[in-house]
C-alpha cells in the first residue's frame, strides 16, 4: 500500500470516527425513551422493569471497538468479490450449524427422561462453544463484506455523494437484539410507552406484561426486534443472507433520514414514526433483490422484465379464495377493534381479539398476545397491503408514492421531507381512506 493510500485511509477513518461520535451522541439523546423519565406513568413502568433494561452504552462501546478494529486491520478490501461472498455464505452456514447444536442441547435439558443433562450434552456443548468462538472471530469481517455490498448498490441507486462515497457510512452489528416493551391505553390503540429490555425468557415476559396490565390498567406487549438504528445499527443475528441484506438497507435508511425532517421528527408515539418505518420497510424490500442479483444470484428472486414495483405483490399463481389470508384477516381484526373501542366497548374488543388470536394460532401463526399494544407496534410497519394498519392510509400512500417514482432515490427524495399524515396524503394525491 502506498503512503498516499495509507494517509487517505487514515483520513477516511478519522472522518468516520467523528461521524460515529456525533451520531452516537445524538442517538443517546433520542433514546431518552429508554433511559430518561418522560412522565409519571413512564417512570412507574420503567421502575417495574428496571432490572431488565438494556445497557446501550456498554453495547455501543463494544460495537464501535469492533468496527474500528475491522476498519484499521480488516482484510475485506483486499479480497475479490467472489471470495467476499463465499466468506458470508460460509459464516451463515456455520451459524446455522451452531443454532442446530443449541437446539439439540436445549431439547436434552427439556427432556424429563434425561437425569443428567450436563453430562449428556458435554460433547455437544464443547462443539457449540468452539464453533461460537470461531464465528465470533469472523463476525466483523462478514458484517464488513455485507456492508460494502449493500453500500455499492445504494451508491449505484444514486445515494452516494459526488465523490462516490455513501453518507452516512453503512455500519451494522449482528447481535441478539433487545426486546421492546410497548404500552398502549386500553380504550384506544396508541403507542404511549416503549422501553428496551434484555432478551427475556417467555415466562418472564408473561409475568411483566401481567404485572404492568394490572398495575396501570393498560395493554402491554414485549416484542422481538429485527434491528435498532443505533450507530452501528443493531441487527438481529440471522442465518439468512436475504434477511440480513433487507435489515441492513432498512436500518441504513433510518440513519440517512436522520439528516432530514422525516428522521429528525421521528417520534416513538406519533404518525411520523409510522411514515418513517413504513418507508424503511419498503426500501429494504426494494434494495434486497438488487444486492442478491449482484452478489448472491442463487438467492435472488426471478428477474422478470416489466415486473411490478416492489410495493406490489408478485404472485403469478392463482389465489385460493378459501385459503387463510393473514393480511385480510388481520385487517378485518384491526378495523373491528377500532370500531369497538370507538364505541367504548373495551371488554368486548379484548374478548374479540382473544377469539381472533385463537384463529391465527390455529392457522399456524404463533401469536402469544393480540391486544391494543400489538396493533400500536405492528401497525407502524405498513406495506400498502391490508394488515395491522387497518384503515390507516399511511401504508397505501407511501406505496403510491413509491410506485409513482421513477427511481428509489427520487422516491426517498420526496419522502424525507414528509412528517405528517396530511402532508403524505396530499403528496400521494389522495385523502380517501383505504377500503
Q: What percent of the chain has pLDDT above 90?
A: 46
Whole-number pLDDT of residue 178: 80
C-alpha cell, 93 = 452456514
Whether residue 138 is predicted with pLDDT greater than 90 in this model: the reply is yes
φ/ψ (deg, to 5) at 197: -125, 160
Q: Are 177 and 323 in contact (CB under 8 A)?
A: no
Weakest mean pLDDT among 50-59, 256-265, 282-291, 348-357: 50-59
Whether residue 395 is predicted with pLDDT greater than 60 in this model: the reply is yes
Nearest Cα residue to 227 out of 272, 277, 261: 277
Nearest Cα residue to 166 out of 3, 5, 1, 19: 19
Nearest Cα residue to 172 out of 104, 82, 103, 238: 238
Whole-number pLDDT of residue 39: 52
The pTM of this model reads: 0.70
Whole-number pLDDT of residue 224: 80
Whether residue 306 is predicted with pLDDT greater than 50 in this model: the reply is no
Nearest Cα residue to 264 out of 17, 38, 27: 27
Whole-number pLDDT of residue 145: 96
Whole-number pLDDT of residue 9: 45
Whether residue 64 is predicted with pLDDT greater than 70 in this model: the reply is yes
Taking only the tens place, the pLDDT of each residue in 248-305 is 999 999 999 999 999 888 765 578 888 998 999 999 999 999 999 999 999 998 865 4
Cα–Cα distance list, 238 to 242, 252, 303 (Å): 10, 17, 25
Taking only the tens place, the pLDDT of each residue in 176-235 is 778 889 999 999 999 888 888 887 777 788 889 999 999 999 999 998 877 777 888 888
Amino acid at each position: 500500500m502506498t503512503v498516499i493510500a495509507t494517509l487517505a485511509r487514515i483520513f477516511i477513518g478519522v472522518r468516520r470516527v467523528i461521524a460515529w461520535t456525533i451520531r452516537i451522541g445524538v442517538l443517546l439523546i433520542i433514546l431518552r425513551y429508554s433511559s430518561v423519565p418522560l412522565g409519571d406513568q413512564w417512570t412507574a413502568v420503567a421502575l417495574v422493569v428496571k432490572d431488565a433494561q438494556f445497557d446501550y452504552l456498554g453495547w455501543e462501546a463494544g460495537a464501535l471497538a469492533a468496527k474500528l478494529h475491522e476498519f484499521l486491520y480488516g482484510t475485506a478490501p483486499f479480497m475479490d468479490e467472489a471470495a467476499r461472498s463465499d466468506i458470508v455464505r460460509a459464516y451463515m452456514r456455520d451459524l446455522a450449524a451452531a443454532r442446530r447444536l443449541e437446539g439439540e442441547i436445549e431439547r436434552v435439558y427439556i427432556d424429563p427422561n434425561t437425569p443428567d443433562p450436563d453430562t449428556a450434552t458435554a460433547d455437544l456443548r464443547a462443539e457449540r462453544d468452539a464453533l461460537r468462538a470461531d464465528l465470533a472471530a469472523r463476525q466483523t469481517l462478514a458484517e464488513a463484506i455485507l456492508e460494502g455490498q449493500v453500500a455499492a448498490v445504494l451508491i449505484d441507486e444514486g445515494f452516494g455523494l459526488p465523490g462516490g462515497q455513501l453518507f452516512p457510512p453503512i455500519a451494522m452489528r449482528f447481535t441478539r437484539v433487545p426486546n421492546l416493551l410497548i404500552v398502549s391505553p386500553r380504550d384506544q390503540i396508541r403507542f404511549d410507552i416503549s422501553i428496551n429490555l434484555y432478551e427475556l425468557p417467555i415466562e418472564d415476559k408473561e409475568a411483566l406484561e401481567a404485572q404492568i396490565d394490572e398495575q396501570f390498567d393498560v395493554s402491554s406487549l414485549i416484542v422481538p426486534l429485527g434491528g435498532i438504528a443505533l450507530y452501528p445499527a443493531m441487527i438481529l443475528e440471522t442465518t439468512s443472507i436475504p434477511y440480513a441484506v433487507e435489515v441492513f438497507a432498512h436500518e441504513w435508511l433510518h440513519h440517512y433520514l436522520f439528516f432530514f425532517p422525516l428522521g429528525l421528527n421521528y417520534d416513538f408515539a406519533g404518525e411520523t414514526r409510522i411514515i418513517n418505518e413504513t418507508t424503511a420497510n419498503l426500501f429494504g424490500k426494494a434494495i434486497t433483490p438488487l444486492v442478491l442479483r449482484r452478489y448472491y444470484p442463487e438467492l435472488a428472486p426471478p428477474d422478470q422484465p416489466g415486473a411490478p414495483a416492489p410495493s406490489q405483490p408478485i404472485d403469478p399463481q392463482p389465489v385460493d379464495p378459501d385459503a387463510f389470508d393473514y393480511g385480510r384477516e388481520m385487517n378485518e381484526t384491526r378495523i373491528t377493534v377500532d370500531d369497538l373501542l370507538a364505541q367504548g366497548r373495551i371488554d368486548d374488543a379484548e374478548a374479540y381479539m382473544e377469539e381472533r388470536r385463537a384463529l391465527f394460532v390455529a392457522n399456524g401463526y404463533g401469536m402469544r398476545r393480540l391486544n391494543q399494544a400489538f396493533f400500536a407496534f405492528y401497525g407502524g410497519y405498513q406495506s400498502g397491503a391490508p394488515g395491522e394498519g387497518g384503515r390507516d392510509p399511511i401504508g397505501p400512500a407511501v406505496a403510491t408514492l413509491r410506485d409513482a417514482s421513477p427511481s428509489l432515490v427520487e422516491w426517498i427524495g420526496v419522502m424525507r421531507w414528509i412528517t405528517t399524515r396530511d402532508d403524505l396524503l396530499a403528496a400521494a394525491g389522495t385523502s380517501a381512506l383505504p377500503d
